[in-house]
């Protein structure tokens, strides 16, 4: 498959990159292994398109965005299928990702209509000051494999409606769904060059994209070390950045927690997308009075989960996307075992039959996990949860915060005052108290500490693609 540049399917590099089915390693398709010429063409197309797009009335941009959302909904089965094949996640969940992303596009479109400038009442005769916002320019979006359309839409939906243009570089593991999405731009009737997609290896073309003089902003979601590299390159030309990075999110269960609420929520949120989920529950601190009961209930619920090929849509967890991600999670299990942890369930790679060629890791619970174990310190990005007990609430909060990450955290307590007090002390961009309901489009999402810079979604997500300008008027 070719790149989508300036409204055309084209590729300058003759090199190809293989996209594999993680279930059995078979070849799904080949995409362009872009080189510098592809970067140049895509950025130039976006830069030229910006000159017209920034002057397009916001009403027209909003109407186009709604058409794009409608097209995505129409194509959700086929884009969802591409996504399920390249990622291994169950088909229904992949189709849901496309439809929910369309919903986010509509939210951003509606919110954009409410964006305002202002002028302060200085009360000086013959003078006014106008405070306005302008679109930033060409935005480069770099996204990971795990939720390719959602994480692109976080950026693209805000950038385009605010008048920016975009070059999207999807993950090398899951580029097919993003290319399928580009076809929706054609159907919606967007002007050429407003949205472009180039595929390839981040390590090969990343620096060229991030340092390009015609690019104003980098919107990145991915690993914390990749984010640090990108921020360093972007800083040389003072580009604007939004970074959504890794997580190692803790849950605290107080002695008055409702286990019937907490257990299903943690199992769902810890193992969703085979644990390849940035703000999943990675580690749990349980009050000692509930510890054994919690472990038993978690084991029962986890053992009901099924593994399989996502496209068959008859399983809870698919394979992990690649060997690197699998090896990292598996090492954490081995590390915990070697340091005396108890494997409550799972802990093994499943082999034989349909599992033989994929990286299928059983959903794993590690009890008696202690702070020196990797499972309690490092991001897992796989279906493994560490569990520890505590006696003292303050110590549990301190342990939960003893991490370079700060993406999300979870508290379970019947006492809402206590839940809120703990939530206020947790160093995380989002905290859930007493259940883990789905996130809203209208509220900000992002990380503290090394989990990121800036916020996506909500009005803050839109503002992040604009620059404030102050105009002094004398008349």
Are 229 and 241 a contacting pair, CB within 8 Å? no
Least CB distance to ligand NAD at residue 119 (A): 36
Catalytic residue, chosen from 97, 111, 172, 244, is 244
Neighbours of 107 (CB within 10 A): 20
Least CB distance to ligand NAD at residue 381 (A): 5
Cα distance between the two ends of the chain: 57
Tokens standing for residue 156: 């693209």
Specify the residue, 327 or 468, whose C-beta has the smaller distance to ligand NAD: 327
For residue 80, which phi and psi values (nearest 5 degrees)?
A: -60, -35
Specify the residue, 7 or 202, whose C-beta has the smaller distance to ligand NAD: 202
Least CB distance to ligand NAD at residue 202 (A): 2
Pick from 329, 352, 31, 378: nearest CA to 177 = 31
Which residues bind to ligand NAD, rule: CB under 6 A? 142-146, 151, 169, 171-172, 202-203, 206-207, 210, 221-223, 226, 229-230, 244-247, 278, 379, 381, 407, 447, 451-452
Specify the residue, 203 or 342, whose C-beta has the smaller distance to ligand NAD: 203
d(CA 223, CA 79) in angstroms, rounded, equals: 25
Establish how many alpha carbons lie within 13 A of residue 408's alpha carbon, considering only the half-sphere containing its beta carbon.
Answer: 25
Give exposure, 376-407, as e/b (b: 16+ Cβ within 10 Å): bbbbbbbbbbbbbbbeebeebbebbbebebbb
Least CB distance to ligand NAD at residue 359 (A): 13
Are 378 and 339 a contacting pair, CB within 8 Å? no
Specify the residue, 149 or 245, whose C-beta has the smaller distance to ligand NAD: 245
Least CB distance to ligand NAD at residue 126 (A): 49
Neighbours of 224 (CB within 10 A): 19
Specify the residue, 406 or 419, whose C-beta has the smaller distance to ligand NAD: 406
- Bridge partners, residue 281, by sequence: 249
Are 320 and 434 a contacting pair, CB within 8 Å? no
Specify the residue, 140 or 164, whose C-beta has the smaller distance to ligand NAD: 140
Least CB distance to ligand NAD at residue 22 (A): 13
For residue 32, indicate whether it is catalytic: no
Catalytic residue, chosen from 94, 184, 254, 278, is 278
Establish how many alpha carbons lie within 13 A of residue 375's alpha carbon, considering only the half-sphere containing its beta carbon.
Answer: 36
- The DSSP result for 67-123, as a single string, is HHHHHHHHTHHHHHHHHHHHH---HHHHHHHHHHHHHHHHHHHHHHTT---B-----
For residue 278, indicate whether it is catalytic: yes
Neighbours of 427 (CB within 10 A): 18
d(CA 385, CA 350) in angstroms, rounded, equals: 18
Least CB distance to ligand NAD at residue 407 (A): 6
Specify the residue, 149 or 301, whose C-beta has the smaller distance to ligand NAD: 149
Tokens standing for residue 406: 């700060």
Active site amino acids: 244, 278
């Amino acid at each position: 498959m070719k790149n989508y540049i300036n409204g055309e399917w084209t590729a300058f590099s003759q090199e190809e990159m293989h996209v594999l089915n993680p279930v059995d390693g078979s070849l799904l398709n080949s995409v362009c292994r872009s080189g510098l010429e592809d970067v140049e063409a895509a950025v130039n197309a976006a830069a030229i398109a910006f000159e017209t797009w920034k002057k397009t009335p916001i009403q027209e941009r909003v109407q186009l965005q709604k058409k794009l959302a409608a097209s995505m909904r129409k194509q959700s089965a086929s884009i969802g299928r591409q996504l399920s094949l390249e990622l291994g996640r169950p088909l229904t969940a992949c189709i849901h990702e496309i439809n929910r992303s369309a919903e986010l596009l509509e939210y951003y479109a509606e919110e954009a209509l409410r964006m305002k400038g202002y002028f302060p009442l200085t009360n000086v005769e013959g003078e006014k000051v106008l405070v306005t916002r302008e679109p930033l320019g060409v935005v480069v979006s770099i996204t990971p494999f795990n939720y390719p359309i959602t994480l692109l839409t976080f950026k693209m939906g805000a950038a385009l409606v605010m008048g920016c243009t975009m070059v999207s570089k999807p993950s090398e593991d899951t580029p097919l769904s993003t290319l399928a999405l580009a076809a929706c731009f054609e159907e919606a009737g967007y002007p050429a060059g407003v949205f472009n997609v180039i595929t390839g290896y981040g390590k090969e073309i990343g620096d060229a994209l991030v340092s390009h003089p015609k690019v104003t902003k980098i919107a990145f979601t991915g690993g914390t070390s990749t984010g640090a590299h990108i921020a360093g390159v972007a800083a040389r030309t003072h580009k604007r950045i939004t970074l959504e990075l890794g997580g190692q999110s803790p849950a605290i269960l107080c002695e008055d927690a409702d286990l019937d609420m907490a257990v299903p929520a943690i199992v769902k949120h810890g193992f969703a997308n085979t644990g390849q989920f940035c703000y999943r529950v990675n580690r749990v601190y349980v009050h000692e009075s509930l510890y054994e009961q919690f472990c038993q209930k978690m084991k029962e619920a986890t053992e009901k989960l099924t593994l399989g090929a996502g496209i068959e849509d008859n399983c809870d967890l698919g394979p992990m996307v690649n060997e690197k991600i699998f090896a990292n999670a598996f090492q954490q299990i081995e590390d915990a075992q070697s340091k005396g942890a108890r494997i409550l369930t799972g802990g093994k790679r499943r082999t034989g039959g349909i599992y033989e060629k994929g990286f299928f890791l059983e959903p794993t619970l590690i009890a008696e996990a202690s702070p020196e174990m990797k499972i309690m310190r490092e991001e897992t990005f796989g279906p493994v949860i560490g569990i520890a007990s505590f006696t003292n609430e303050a110590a549990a909060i301190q342990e939960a915060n003893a991490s370079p990450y700060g993406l999300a955290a979870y508290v379970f307590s019947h006492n809402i005052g206590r839940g809120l007090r703990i939530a206020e002390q947790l160093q995380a961009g989002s905290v859930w108290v007493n259940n883990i309901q789905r996130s809203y489009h209208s509220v900000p999402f992002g990380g503290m500490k090394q989990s990121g810079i800036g916020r996506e979604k909500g009005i803050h997500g839109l503002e992040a693609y604009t620059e404030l300008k102050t105009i002094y008027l004398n008349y």
